[in-house]
Structure 1
Amino acid sequence: MHGTLDRPMPAAEPARSVDVGLPRFGYWHCFYGILKRELLRFLLQRGRFMSALVRPLVWLFIFAAGFRSVLGVSIIPPYETYVLYEVYVTPGLMAMIQLFGGLQSSLSMVYDREVGSMRILLTSPYPRWFLLTSKLFAGTAISVIQVYVYLAIAWWWEVEPPHIGYIMVLPALILSGLMLGSIGLFLSSLIKQLENFASVMNFVIFPMFFTSSALYPLWRVREASLTLYYVCNFNPFTYCVELIRFTLHAKFDVPTSWDQLVLMFTSMDKGNVFDPLSSDYPGFVAFLVVLLTTAVFLGLSILAYDPSRGLIGRRGGPEGA
């Protein structure tokens, strides 16, 4: 008995590490869930689909037909001959679909983070940058579907780009959709109430659309107002339109050497180096601007939704989070 009491106690085994990580393929299932939910919402809300097509179709069928005899479009890149006004305006209307789609997706983000599914997801173990990026890709996928439906309808209106353009424009649509969605996502971080965000949309969508090259060539804008011309050049939506325009018509050229890349910037108009028409590679310049704008606003959105440093955290986060 005494021997038992005097026997030294065995040393405690080191605590085994418990794997509290996310399940395998968990990121994929999370992304798939967000994408599926957005697609189901899009399919069930048929009014949303129709409203996204009504605006560009009104411009195509009514305004373009009326402006055809008034606004002739001269030979400008990427066009090799005179084109009808409805041909010129089509890339701008495609970008308009994505503009409204990106802002509407962000509008749903304001609702979801307060009382919807994102309220729960934002408190899940998944990083917020992944959740926000998944939300952006889901909204972009829906806008791309809407754009291709519009292109199918515009084909019956004698808007017939090269067949290869329907494929080349897809990466441009994805990138421009991400850019416009990132802008809307950043704006959604500044707004807490749904009613306020609806008014912000009117102060963002219409200025971005009308102060761009979506409806009129930049050289015509310059003839009318030099100030408006510079505003159009600093509008990121202009570069979305030009990127879609050049890829849709299969005229997207890129510099193939470092010397050509340097010459691309040095040969621009010294008064405005961001003019997409002043370069030998206007489509590539538009691509760079859209890519940079996407990175900036996506980074700002991720920072704003960071609960420890962002704007959401300063306001206390979603209710109940």
Structure 2
Amino acid sequence: MTADPLHLSTNIPQGGPGGGARPPGPAKGRYLVALKAILHRELSRFLGQKSRLIAALVRPLVWLLVFAAGFRAALGLSITPPYQTYITYETYILPGLLGMICLFNGMQSSLSLVYDREMGSMRLLLTAPLPRGWLLFAKLLAGTLISLLQCLVFLAIGYAWGIRPPLMGLIAVIPALLLTGLMLGALGLLLSSLIRQLENFAGVMNFVIFPMFFLSSALYPLWKMAEASPALARACALNPFTQAVELIRFSLYLTPNGPALGWTVLATLAFAAAALYGYDPARGFTRSKG
């Protein structure tokens, strides 16, 4: 049998989900051991792959340093909340690029889950004698923390480049980034419950990422989209990624945005519930495979 990469076997005896041998010690300790092991594994994997951090930053940096220079002259921006004055295009797209980082990392987490399933380590994880929802939450939290780390590095680069929101905004945006990471990570969990083979991942990823990113307010405001097509603008407004980007944007400038917060929370819960259902061996999308 494949060695347990999560190192749970020395702390939590294996058993069926909800059945089998129960690990010793209080329940709280078992939950924390599993959470710590999964977080350690995912963070160690990320920190051991420096190319992954570089790749995660290259995509938004290309938009920030290259495309923004060309779009700046072609795309005029009016004074709209949360901005109190005219802004550069680089300033406008910063929240969208932070969302891009979370989006791609959520898909990367989805890929790692599909890989773990093929290698057998996912089966070992899900057969640990702990609630399946808790194990999936631990994976989701680990991916979200990685997204947050990448976003903070990108914010530092943007600050050095001259994009400087209020200093308190750099702190206020952290909860918004965490919520965005949770939403997109939950979407990645859902996708991983549907994707059976690594070969199918690229097509599904492109089908999700590009419509989500380009049909949003990440690169251009919705009023600008409405000038070209009101129907397209409405589609962008319904995109949960748009709401997450707007939540990040308003948080950076210390401005409340209740609707964006509410829709982002709702999308997070919906994606997480669907992912939990998908990983249910009795009812979910993976039931035919066991």
**TM-score normalised according to structure 1 size:** 0.81
Where structure 2 has 5 or more consecutive residues not aligned to the other structure, the ranges are 1-20
Question: SS of 2:116's equivalent?
Answer: helix
More helix by share: 2
* Alpha carbons 1:179, 1:297 under 8 Å: kept: yes
Query: Which residue is equivalent to 1:3?
Result: none
1:37 aligns to 2:34 (yes or no): no
Query: Partners of 2:274 and 2:125 in 1: how far apart?
Result: 20
The one-character-per-residue Cα deviations of 1:155-210 (angstroms, maximum 9, x if unpaired) are: 12110000001111111111111101111111111111011012100111011000
Matches within 5 A, 1:39-118: 39-118=43-122
Query: Partners of 1:241 and 1:22 in 2: how far apart?
Result: 44
Residue 231 of structure 1, aligned match among 232, 235, 241: 235
Question: SS of 1:137's equivalent?
Answer: helix
How far 1:23 moved relative to its partner?
Answer: 3.1
Query: Partners of 1:119 and 1:112 in 2: how far apart?
Result: 8
Cα distance 1:199–1:153, how it changes in 2: closer, same or farther (>3 A)? same
How far 1:247 moved relative to its partner?
Answer: 0.3
* Alpha carbons 1:218, 1:229 under 8 Å: kept: yes
* Alpha carbons 1:112, 1:118 under 8 Å: kept: yes
Query: Which residue is equivalent to 1:285?
Result: 259
Query: Which residue is equivalent to 2:25?
Result: 23
How far 1:116 moved relative to its partner?
Answer: 4.5
1:209 aligns to 2:218 (yes or no): no
Matches within 5 A, 1:189-204: 189-204=193-208
How far 1:35 moved relative to its partner?
Answer: 0.6
Query: Partners of 1:113 and 1:22 in 2: how far apart?
Result: 27
* Alpha carbons 2:148, 2:177 under 8 Å: kept: yes
How far 1:46 moved relative to its partner?
Answer: 1.4
Query: Which residue is equivalent to 1:299?
Result: 273
* Alpha carbons 2:236, 2:242 under 8 Å: kept: yes
Give the RMSD, CA atoms, in angstroms.
1.2
Question: SS of 1:164's equivalent?
Answer: helix
The one-character-per-residue Cα deviations of 1:223-280 (angstroms, maximum 9, x if unpaired) are: 011121111011110001000000011112xxxxxxxxxxxxxxxxxxxxxxxxxxxx
Amino acid corresponding to residue 247 of structure 1 in structure 2: S
> With CA pairs under 8 Å and 6+ residues apart, which has the higher RCO, 1 or 2?
2
Sequence identity (%)? 57
Moved more, 178-187 or 67-76: 67-76
Query: Which residue is equivalent to 1:163?
Result: 167
1:142 aligns to 2:146 (yes or no): yes
